[in-house]
Amino acid sequence: TDFSNYFCNKTPSSINNRSAGKLFLGSYSYNSGSEMYNEGIAFTSRPINLKGYYRYVNDNQDTTEKGTVTVQVLNGATIIASGKIELSAASEYTEFSLPLVYSSYDLKATDLHIMISSSNHTNEADIKTTNYVNKEECCSRGAMLIIDNLTFSYEQ
């Protein structure tokens, strides 16, 4: 039996629910159509910057889409420092630097939240994908974000 084109013929004609790929610290659950992110890990230091490298390819239907990196340092439920950066298209590994701005210096850090997303769109209707029928992938794919070598710095 020839299965070389099986998946290309079985590609859905439409996609009802789109979601950006997300990488984060914590846990995730899905229950009855509802997503739940339990973000964060225990973390007691106070970094001033997150650096790393990324490659980003937009979906060819939406060249304005960007990847995002968001960092929050917390004391319990209180955010004491935060930063967010949007990552533009880059075909080669590109360095990024995300400064963390502190709103409180009198509280100790207890938790760290990091969320990395392949899209800056928050509404699933705004996330575009391209259907790659009759190619080796035979799937629908949106923007692609690769993150590498994340490091915190503690001095200016």
Per DSSP, helices labelled H in 2-155 are 6-9
Examine the pLDDT at 40 and tell me if it is beyond 80: yes
Q: How far is CA 130 from the centre of its chain?
A: 19
The mean pLDDT value for 120-128 works out to 61
Average per-residue pLDDT in the chain?
Answer: 81
Check residue 1 and give its pLDDT: 47
The mean pLDDT value for 140-149 works out to 82
Check residue 24 and give its pLDDT: 75
How far CA 57 is from CA of 2, 89, 96, 117, 149, in Å, comes to 33, 5, 16, 13, 19
Taking the complete model, does pTM exceed 0.85, yes or no?
no
- Name the most confidently modeled range: 10-14, 21-25, 58-62, 79-83: 79-83
Backbone angles phi, psi at 110, to 5 degrees: -125, -25
Least confident among 22-36, 113-127, 128-142 = 128-142
Least confident among 28-32, 57-61, 122-126, 131-135 = 131-135
Stretch (H or E) spanning 150: strand 144-153
Q: Which residue has the tokens 């929050």?
A: 72
Q: Which residue has the tokens 């298209």?
A: 89
The mean pLDDT value for 120-135 works out to 58
Q: Would you place residue 28 in the very low, low, confident or very high pLDDT band (cuts 50, 70, 90)? A: confident
Q: pLDDT by residue (tens digit) across 60-119?
A: 777 888 999 999 999 999 999 999 999 999 999 999 999 999 998 899 999 999 999 888
Q: Which residue has the tokens 């075909």?
A: 91
Examine the pLDDT at 142 and tell me if it is beyond 80: no
